[in-house]
Amino acid sequence: MQKLTNKEEEIMHILWKLKKAFVKEVQAEIIEDTPHYNTLSTIIRNLEDKGYVGHTAFGNTHQYFPIIALEDYRKTFMKTAIANYFGNSYKQLVSHFAEEEKISADELREILALIEKKS
């Protein structure tokens, strides 16, 4: 799975949300720094070249849809992030969030309960 740029990832989130959309519909969902129609069309075609998006043709217009599921992308993204930033250690990942106060003791207890339930 090829790495996505920030803008490509933003567009993929829109397509995952909408399920299928024309370029104008994607453009309407972008809140900040809305790219020109032609620029957005090029980005979506690049996503298609990377294997993330497919299309259905309606004459000269294309309706795009995601080929890669959000969950599959999330798994790959998380695996890469954990490898690159936490030395493949989930313990380091959780410790980081605890140190940054991004996770509470109650949330950690919930995570432990989930782990124990699966064991």
CA 44 – CA 5 distance, rounded (Å): 12
CA 90 – CA 98 distance, rounded (Å): 12
Residue found under tokens 């993330």: 52
Least confident of 5-14, 18-27, 69-78, 92-101: 92-101
CA 27 – CA 24 distance, rounded (Å): 5
Q: CB of 88 within 8 A of CB of 82?
A: yes
Question: What does pTM read for this prediction?
Answer: 0.81
The 10s digit of each residue's pLDDT in 62-100 is: 999 999 999 999 999 899 989 999 999 988 988 888 888
Q: Which fold has domain 6-66?
A: Arc Repressor Mutant, subunit A (1.10.10)
pLDDT at 35 over 80: yes
Joined tokens for residue 99: 């140190």
